[in-house]
Structure 1
Amino acid sequence: MPVAVVTDSTSYLPFGVAEDRGIRIVPLEVRLGERVGREGVDVDAAALRVALADRRLDVQTSRPTPAEFAACYRTALDAGADGVVSVHLSRELSGTWDAARVAAEEVGADRVRVVDSRAAGMGLGYAVLAAADAAVAGSDGAAVEAAAADVAARCRMFFSVDTLDRLRRGGRIGTAAALFGTALAVKPLLHVAQGKIVPLEKVRTTARAAQRLVELAVKAAGDGPVDLAVHHLGAAGRAEDVAARLRERLDVARLLVSEVGAVIGAHVGTGLLAVVVVPKG
């Protein structure tokens, strides 16, 4: 049986793709005040937006436990999989990768390989899809792992947020970096470098932020075909506009426009606009 591919809920794969491709998803947990649920199962982006609008409500996230990963791996292996490749959001942003690593050691490091995508959203999702393609083609665990790692290495992710406060409070950027976006009427632009969120530049308006995201994506894409994703939280119109501009300027292989889920949304806040760029190898 082919190698089983596992990921976490922050991959934000298009609806139905994981089920169709046999990709197993281990969800992260979200706490909205007293309500606790699994991302993508019990809590969606709409529920998160409502919670974020209530400034009195505490919103938190937590990684899956090693036991949850171990159970998933054992289920896949018991079903006849030759091995497991588990691909996850950046270890610099979450303890999810580490929980998966602990579970892999428990189940058997010779049977389970864990990949740090150094990204989230479809930056992670495209790496997962590459792993699934390799698995379906009959590749062994090492080759499936390499396919995911190759896409992860080529991925670039740029994004804008209305405020850096949630990223600071969640520990995803430091206090010094958070000061980058404190001026009035400033929209901070950031990118993911080596798995970390790093401030990039500041612009004055939402419209200029969208334009700079397009320009940065075009530069990162180069001249060949490219896989793209445009993510947002509560900004569907702006996301579609950015996607349309990218289609006009790039040789697009695949392009997905989607709202992020509750976990990433909890750390960036409403108004997120992000572009994922994966040039074809």
Structure 2
Amino acid sequence: MRRTIAIVTDSTSYLPPATVARHRITVVPLTVVLDGQPFEDGSEDATRRLTEALQRRLPVTTSRPSPAVFAAAYRRAAEAGAGGVVSLHLSSEISGTHDAAVLAARDAPVPVRVVDSGMVAMALGFCVLAAAQAAAADGSLDDAVAEAVKRAESTRAYFYVDTLEHLRRGGRIGTARALLGSALAVKPLLELADGRIELREKVRTASRAIARLEELAANQAGSGPVDVAVHHLAAEERARQLAERLSSRLPGLAELHVSEVGAVLGAHTGPGLLGAVVSPR
């Protein structure tokens, strides 16, 4: 009997819990520290407390999982019968999570392939699902990695934020770009490019920025089969409306996910975040 391939990711993939359970994906949580108190990313309590902390301008930091946490996950996978592990994580340009996984993989009891997706949120999540589907079809480690990388290459993620201040504080975007994005009270549109969060466009008002976000997502999706995720932080109604509009515009829409991001990503974007992830199949 062929041994299975286990899939490991981190909490910034923001995969729906039912999807995680169905594909037996192991999710290793990052940590957000709110005014000195640590919380696991992905919990509703962490996200709620994050919004409160940002509004009160309390100290907020994030931290990667330790190599020991990844080592334990790989060991459990081996004990459960896995013959290998594909471990997929958010961009190494914005987190040390990938590096921690690489350190743990060196001494794992089974082969572990660590993949830097260059992505975050469901842009990472869709890559994880591609690897899981390849593994479920009796694919090898190489097959699962190849499918994840292929998905990452075609996936695009666009984000609207009310301000770049939170990204600047966390060091995820340079001071010069943050000042440029804040000039004349414009609203910034961001994208993931080469694993980094980059300022794509500046738009005069929030409504125009969100309309432009929709346009970018629709153009990227085209007419072929595509999966889409709409993310938000404390902007549920905005997210619902964007999802409805995209659903009506995309003839090839296969799956549509709408979710609030966790505390780790939210700590760097702030309330009001609205994101669109487009992942052609």
Query: Do these two structures clear the TM 0.5 threshold for a shared fold by scoring above it?
Result: yes
Structure 2 match to 1:121: 121
Change (3 A) 1:234 1:21: same
- Normalised by the length of structure 1, the TM-score is 0.96
**How many pairs were matched up?**
278
1:85-104 equivalence runs, <5 A: 85-104=86-105
Structure 1 match to 2:147: 147
- SS of corresponding position for 1:163: coil
Structure 1 residue 218: Cα displacement: 1.3
Counterparts of 1:42 and 1:239, CA distance in 2 = 18
| Identity across the alignment (%) | 55
Counterparts of 1:166 and 1:41, CA distance in 2 = 21
Structure 1 residue 235: Cα displacement: 0.6
- Unaligned runs of 5+ residues in structure 2 are none
- Unaligned runs of 5+ residues in structure 1 are none
Counterparts of 2:271 and 2:44, CA distance in 1 = 20
1:150-161 equivalence runs, <5 A: 150-161=150-161
Counterparts of 2:245 and 2:128, CA distance in 1 = 26
Structure 1 residue 15: Cα displacement: 2.5
- Paired AA for residue 235 in structure 2: A
Q: Select 1:28's aligned residue among 27, 30, 39.
A: 30
- Normalised by the length of structure 2, the TM-score is 0.96
Superposition RMSD in Å:
1.3
Counterparts of 2:73 and 2:61, CA distance in 1 = 24
Counterparts of 1:156 and 1:41, CA distance in 2 = 26
Counterparts of 2:163 and 2:216, CA distance in 1 = 20
Counterparts of 1:209 and 1:274, CA distance in 2 = 11
- SS of corresponding position for 1:277: strand
Structure 1 residue 42: Cα displacement: 7.8
Structure 1 match to 2:205: 205
Q: Give yes or no for contact 2:43–2:262 (8 Å, CA) kept in 1.
A: no
Structure 1 match to 2:106: 105
Q: Select 2:40's aligned residue among 26, 38, 41.
A: 38
Structure 1 residue 44: Cα displacement: 2.9
Structure 1 match to 2:185: 185
Q: Give yes or no for contact 1:30–1:43 (8 Å, CA) kept in 2.
A: no
Counterparts of 1:174 and 1:34, CA distance in 2 = 25
Structure 1 residue 220: Cα displacement: 1.1
1:175-225 CA-to-partner distances (Å, cap 9, x unmatched) read 111112112431101101111111111111111111001110111112212
Counterparts of 1:43 and 1:125, CA distance in 2 = 22
Counterparts of 1:215 and 1:99, CA distance in 2 = 37
Counterparts of 2:20 and 2:253, CA distance in 1 = 22
1:123-138 equivalence runs, <5 A: 123-138=123-138
Structure 1 match to 2:227: 227
Q: Give yes or no for contact 1:188–1:201 (8 Å, CA) kept in 2.
A: yes
Q: Give yes or no for contact 1:180–1:199 (8 Å, CA) kept in 2.
A: no
Q: Give yes or no for contact 1:123–1:155 (8 Å, CA) kept in 2.
A: yes
1:135-167 CA-to-partner distances (Å, cap 9, x unmatched) read 111111111111111111111001111111111
Q: Give yes or no for contact 1:180–1:188 (8 Å, CA) kept in 2.
A: no
- SS of corresponding position for 2:92: coil
Q: Give yes or no for contact 2:39–2:46 (8 Å, CA) kept in 1.
A: no
1:24-65 CA-to-partner distances (Å, cap 9, x unmatched) read 01100110113112112484322211121111x101100001
